[in-house]
Every structure is written in C-alpha cells, then in structure tokens.
Amino acid sequence: MLAPREGDTAEENARDAAGRRWLGHGVAVVLCVAFASSLWLRNSLTRIAGDQSNIVTMITAQDAPENFARDPFFSGTASAFYPPFFCSIMRWLIAHFGILGAHRVAQFPLTVIYLLVMYGALYAITRSTPAAVVVAMLSAQRLMSLGGSYWGVDTVGTVQPRTFVLIFTPALFFLAWRLRESWWFVLPFALTGLLLNVNPPGALFFGGLLGAAFLLTHRTSNVRSSRLAAAAVAFVIGAAPFAYTHVTARASSKVEGPAVPREDFMAALEYRFAGTSSFPIETENAHQFLSNFGPMLFLAAAGWVLRNGKRGPLDRWLLCFFLLAAIAPVVAQYVMQKTFMAMGKAPPIANVMRAQKNAYLVMYVYAAFLILELMARTNRRGRVLLVVTAGAAAIFGGPLLRAEVFRANLSQLRELASGNRLHVEAPDIDRVADWARDETPRDALFLFSHTRFAPFRFCAQRSLVTSFTDGGMALYNGPARIVQWHRWQSRLREAVEDRSVEKLLKLANEARADYIGISADWPGPPDAKLVYSGHHWDVYERPKAGSFASPIPFESVRFDKPATSYRSNWVGRSQQVRIKPEGERGLRCEIVGGPDASQHHYGGVRFPTPPFGALRLDMTFMFPENIEAVWLDGHDDAGDRVLRWKWRPTIRDRAQMTKRAFYTVRGGQSGRYFVAEHADATRPATSVNLFLQLHRPDRRAGFVLHGADVAPPRLTSGPSEAK
C-alpha cells in the first residue's frame, strides 16, 4: 500500500485509500470472472448422473407424464416432495436451452456468483484483497466430505439444488458472525430458510450449524436467547412455502402400499445406504476424504498458529463451527441410521454426512489468514512473490490435491474429441436414447444390462425398469416400493455380473418391459428380433412368448495363418492394401487409394469361419472421413455370397468410428449401422469378406479388427427377407 503524501489532508488520504480499495475490488472481480471462464471451458462437457438425473427426469415427467406412465419410480407422487421453486428454475432453463444446454448455460453465472460471494466474505473477515481472491479461487477446487458430497464448483457444475446453498453459504456465515450482537441476527437465518425452498437438507444442515455455534460461543442471556428464538422463527417463516407443499403432498399421497416383511425392508435400507452415507464407512471413501481434508487442514492449522496473539471471539466462533461441521454430521448420521432402521422406517433425510463439507469454509478462512500473516512478515517484493505463488497454486494446485480430477478432465476431453455428447456412468446412452425417442411408442418400457442407466430416461423420454439411483425416489414411495427396487436392482446386478440373458429376460417379464438392451459384447440371442444395434448396445423386442431360445455363446475366430493370406479379393483400383497381424487374435488393414477416378477403390480382409448366423466384430477404423462404405459379405462353402450388409457412415458415425467398439450383425436383419441387403437362410455362411470402399482416389483409410466372434445359425426352411 502506498504511504500518504506529505501535506495531504486526512480527507484526501481517506479518499485515496478508498480509491485503492475499489481498484483492488475491480481487479478481484476481473480475476474471478476470468477464472470462472477457464473453469467453464475446462469443465464444459457436462456430466449428468445420480441425483441430478433423477431431478431432470422428475421435471420432464411432470411436463409429459404420458412418457413415464409405466415407469415404476417416476409415475407416482414422489415428485411432489421436491422443492417447487428449484423445479421451476430448471423447467425454464430446460424449456429454453434443452436438458444439456440448461446445465451448461447455468454453470458460468453460478460459478461467477460463487467466486464473488466467497471473495466478499473472505475480504470482510481478513480485509486483504490478495488473500481473499487467491483463496476464493482455491475454494473452487472439488474437495470431498465423508458423505460423498463436495465443496467447490464441481457441485456448481452439476446444478443440483444443493448448489444454491453452497453458493450463498459464505455470505450467510459472515453475516451471522457480524450481526450476532444485534437483532439483525435474524437476517441470515431468514435467508437460510428461504434457501430451504431450493434444497431442504442443505439449508437445514447449515442453519442448524449456525444456531449451534452461536449457542456454544455466547453466554446465555435473556437478550441472546430472544435473538436466537427470533432467528428460529425467521428460519421457519422463510421455509414456510416448501413446508406447506411438503405437508400437503404427504397428506394427499398414497405411498404406503402393501405391508412388506420387516427383514426385506431392512435389507433394502442397508443396500440403499451402503457406501459413503452409512456405517461402516468404506476404506476407499475414507482414504479419498482424508486425501482432500488433510492438505486443507494443514493450511488451516498453519494459519491458526501464525495468528497466535491475535486470536479472539472470531477464532472461537470459527473453531466451534469447524468442530460441529466436522463431527456432528457423522454422529447424527450414525444415530439416525441405527434408530430409524431399528424402527423399520426410512430416515427422513438419507445423508446427513453431506453437511460435513461446511467444515471446509472455516479452513478456507484460515488459509486466507495464513497468506495475510505471511505477507505481513515479508517485504514488498516478497509479498508480490507470495501472492503470485499462492495464485498459481490456487489455479493449478487443485488437481494436485486430487489427481483423479486432472485425469477425469483429460478423459472428458478425449470423450469430447471422440464425439460423445454426454458424459455419464454408462457408455453411449445418448445414441440409443435418440433411437428410442424417435422409433418407439411413448409408453414403452426398457430394461438394460447396466445397473446405472438412469440418464436414459430424460435423454429418451421413456420409462426404465430400474437403475441404482432410483433408490432415492423409492424412499418417497413407501416401504413396498423400496423393497421392490431392491429386489429388481439385486436381480439386475446378478444378471450383469453373470452376463446372463436369461436372468435379464426373467426380470423383463416380471416388469413387463417392452424392450431389452443387451451389451454388444454379451452372448446374444440370434433368433430374437433385433430392433437397434449400436457401438455398445443391442436392443431387442421382448419375445411375446416370454422367453428367448437358449442364448448361444459366440465362438472366437482364429487367425493362425500369415496375415497376408487374409487379404480380400475386393481391391478395385487401390494402389496398395497391407494386411498385418494385430495382437494375438486380430488383423490390421491399411488401404491406399490409386489415382484412377473412374473406378472404385477397395480393400479389406477375408477369413474362414465356422457356419454362423450371427457375427460380432471388435473394430477400430482409421481415417473414417475417407470411407464411403463398409461392406460385409458372408460366403458359403462353394464361395457363393449368401449374406450381405452395407454401412454408409454418416458424419455422426464417423465421429465415433475411431473409437473401439463392437458391431454385431445377424442374417437377414438390419442394425443401427449395417443394413441387410441379401440373405439366403438355406445355406450357412462359412467365411466373411469385410472390406472398405474409399470416398475418393488417392485417399487412405483402414481398420483394426481386434477380434471376430461367430454364433451358429438357426436354419429355416426358406430364405429370409432382407430389411
């Protein structure tokens, strides 16, 4: 800070100081906006899963209930228990920007608001612009609590209800401290009550921590007791709108259902609460929490030590709030979990331990104090170096605190480069969802061989039998529904682990699903009607008879001869076709087109197989932009063609073709990519001819055939029609 000039009056000095402060605030705002921009660009690929997918599905189900009329968990009254205010915000965003666009549009302004609020709260406490802005940026990094919830803009990026409580928590925390000795103390509690209309658990947790910290750090008196009572009343008044809708919904709903055996209900609750929100806490989750909590606790402890001699009521308030936030949610979770499960009832709040993330707020305050104290102990050059170093650590050090965040960002960039539009827990959801939305009835019910397929609902606007995250919705629908969810989810998990089509079909029959989605690398049912075939999923109509013929496992094709012997006879005017071995069971084909534009340019492989009715290819394509078509022929022992498929890749297809995927075809049936052009079911195919047609002369393309598998045919009495 510049020293006052000689001859300046006190008023001029004060005016200069105010100007410097506002200049500092302006620089801080610019830095926060720039930092928010970099975060938005880095995390622009939205991940929608878990609670967020449930919320989006619930909102879309309210607007189009006919699409989810047969959904076991989204066709009831559970949606009435979600805060209407938040639903209204998201409904408006979705209506104007679409599901993915709504989240991406909301991320940037929410991140800016969070950074500015955090900066303002830290500056009000420390009176240091450099310390406040550096720590505000540091606080944007994702740090985990024991309850599996996070502090930081990762939570903002998912745009869940708890996001809004997180954004305003620093300001409310500071107001509660600053106004503790006046009747304005009711203001932060009234505002927290209003936030309850957006996220009831988060606002309730934070309001409880504020009230408990006030009780423990202030001597009891009639005036203070009256203020706290008034604060509680203000909180209730602020929360009244949601309380009214919640009570009304519970009174009008019929979610109890039939009585269920107590042991089944207990097993369902234990399964639902397994992991980060229950006891015993899994070792992996505890280790992940400590790897986040430990570095910040070290910084906070250093700030506490350096404040020796300056500690006062603020430090007592901060320490009390920190201990309450770090310990009380764990104890409350344990007591609530054991109590309600002993009573045979579902807890009103599933995960109290999420409140533990509020402990990070105190650690960020002491991190700001640490920078402030270090600045006071150094000269001007040292202060500049310290601020620059701390700023760089805030911007780039977050991934070092959690290396998996950095790896996740790299993974998302690769997903974006490969053409994936949605980063979710199961692959290729968006593409099979596009097909389902366009090609199936609105009341269709699906079952997929994946336990976490919830985003399919809002992408496809279709019903789904079960997904793991449905347990949260089942809690609102009474004991019978959560027991049903547990039974179905357990059976689905067993079918997935065993890769059993039969077990999957039994569950589909019980749930009366219309379509069954099977992972493309599973043993498939060759006689079932295939209605969709993609990179990762094959979708079948559920047989009216209620059963598939016994699934026939695929048999691997062996390439045990010299690679050049597998060269296809389809060459055309290509200048060169090179065939090389790839790994233990694959081939690599590289095609270089010739200059002749009057003829086509081909290249590929031909290999013998056992007689087959279904063929599965594990492939990666090279230079797909140069591929006009992919041909797949099946020949009998006499060399005559008995099967043919053709695939003309679209621009969207080409964006995915460089990614390794399974492609499955069945005689006489068209799939998502390969269209059947010829099929003679009277003669089995005993060899395959796989070749590419180049888009133009003088181009190069190719593919890697990582492996090929065949399933025996089911012969019929006559030829089948090609679709």
Residue 608: per-residue pLDDT: 93
Mean pLDDT, the chain, integer: 79
**Of 98-102, 219-223, 461-465, which has the strongest mean pLDDT?**
461-465
Residue 79: per-residue pLDDT: 53
Q: Is the pLDDT of residue 306 over 60?
A: yes
**Of 74-88, 266-280, 286-300, 706-720, which has the strongest mean pLDDT?**
286-300
What average pLDDT does the segment 99-121 reach?
84
Task: Determine contact, residues 26/19, Cβ cutoff 8 Å.
Answer: no
How far is CA 29 from each of CA 23, 35, 120, 383, rounded to the nearest angstrom?
A: 10, 10, 10, 21
Residue 634: per-residue pLDDT: 92
CB atoms within 10 A of CB 350: 21
Task: Determine contact, residues 45/412, Cβ cutoff 8 Å.
Answer: yes
33-37: which pairs have CB atoms within 8 A and are 24 or more residues apart?
33/112, 35/115, 35/137, 35/140, 35/395, 36/108, 36/111, 36/112, 36/115, 36/153, 37/108
Q: What is the DSSP string of 372-426?
A: HHHHHTS-HHHHHHHHHHHHHHHHHSHHHH-HHHHHHHHHHHHHHHTT---B-SS
Residues in the chain: 723
Phi, psi of 443, rounded to the nearest 5 degrees: -100, 20
At 32-41, the pLDDT tens digits run 888 887 777 6
Residue of 586, 604, 723 whose CA lies nearest to 666: 723
Residue 28: per-residue pLDDT: 87
What average pLDDT does the segment 39-55 reach?
66
Rounded CA gap, 226 and 616, in Å? Answer: 74
pTM of the model: 0.69
End-to-end CA distance of the chain: 79
Rounded CA gap, 297 and 292, in Å? Answer: 9
Task: Determine contact, residues 354/149, Cβ cutoff 8 Å.
Answer: yes
Phi, psi of 264, rounded to the nearest 5 degrees: -70, -40
When mean pLDDT is compared across 114-118, 503-507, 661-665, the lowest value belongs to 661-665
Residue 1: per-residue pLDDT: 44
Residue 720: per-residue pLDDT: 32
Is 201 or 340 the better-scoring residue by pLDDT? 201
Using only the alpha carbons of the chain, give its radius of gyration.
Answer: 31
Rounded CA gap, 659 and 648, in Å? Answer: 17
Residue 688: per-residue pLDDT: 94
Task: Determine contact, residues 614/526, Cβ cutoff 8 Å.
Answer: yes
Burial of residue 259, with CB atoms counted within 10 A of its CB: 0-12 exposed, 13-18 middle, 19 or more buried? exposed
Place of tokens 């999420």: 354
Q: Is the pLDDT of residue 68 over 80?
A: yes
Residue 140: per-residue pLDDT: 80
Residue 155: per-residue pLDDT: 61
Residue 153: per-residue pLDDT: 64
Rounded CA gap, 314 and 152, in Å? Answer: 24
Confidence band of 395 (pLDDT split at 50, 70, 90):
low
Q: Is the pLDDT of residue 419 over 50?
A: no
When mean pLDDT is compared across 326-335, 347-356, 416-425, 705-714, the lowest value belongs to 416-425
Confidence band of 416 (pLDDT split at 50, 70, 90):
very low
How far is CA 256 from each of CA 468, 470, 601, 610, rounded to the nearest angstrom?
A: 21, 17, 67, 56
Confidence band of 76 (pLDDT split at 50, 70, 90):
low
At 638-664, the pLDDT tens digits run 889 999 999 999 887 887 788 888 888
Q: Is the pLDDT of residue 189 over 50?
A: yes
What average pLDDT does the segment 511-533 reach?
79
CB atoms within 10 A of CB 137: 27
Q: Is the pLDDT of residue 46 over 70?
A: no
Task: Determine contact, residues 303/370, Cβ cutoff 8 Å.
Answer: yes
Residue 401: per-residue pLDDT: 42
Residue of 691, 605, 124 whose CA lies nearest to 365: 124
At 309-355, the pLDDT tens digits run 888 889 999 999 999 998 888 888 878 777 776 776 666 666 777 78
**Beta-strand relationship, 445-448 and 515-519:** parallel
At 536-546, the pLDDT tens digits run 788 888 876 55
Confidence band of 551 (pLDDT split at 50, 70, 90):
low
When mean pLDDT is compared across 26-30, 162-166, 351-355, the lowest value belongs to 351-355
